[in-house]
Amino acid sequence: MGHTNGRNGKGRAVCPYCREMDEVIPILYGYPSDKAFLKAERGEIYLGGDITGPTAYYCKRDDREF
């Protein structure tokens, strides 16, 4: 059975471009805290800017939001 909403059966996001999930990270919108800046530097989250966009995830492999 196929996955819905870009997630696999375990609730993890799957990139619609490469069909992988190992390089997918959440997008954080709004002004980030110091802790969020550190997470972004480590590649754990992607900073999406001040205005909430239509995407919730970012694939580091494909450099694409989805």
The string of pLDDT tens digits covering residues 10-63 is 789 999 999 999 999 999 999 999 999 999 999 999 999 999 999 999 999 999
Task: Give the pLDDT of residue 11.
Answer: 80
Q: Is residue 57 part of a domain?
A: yes
Q: Give yes or no for a contact between 31 and 52, defined as CB atoms under 8 angstroms apart.
A: no
3-state SS of 14-66 is CCCCCCCCCCEEEEEECCCCHHHHHHHHCCCCEEEECCCCCCCEEECCCCEEC
Total domains present in the chain: 1
Q: Is residue 10 part of a domain?
A: no
Q: Which residue has the higher pLDDT, 25 or 9?
A: 25
Conformational region of residue 30, where left means phi above 0, alpha means psi within -120 to 50, and beta covers everything else: left
The domain containing residue 41 runs over which residues?
A: 24-65
Q: Which residue has the higher pLDDT, 2 or 40?
A: 40
The CA radius of gyration of the chain, in Å to the nearest whole number, is: 12
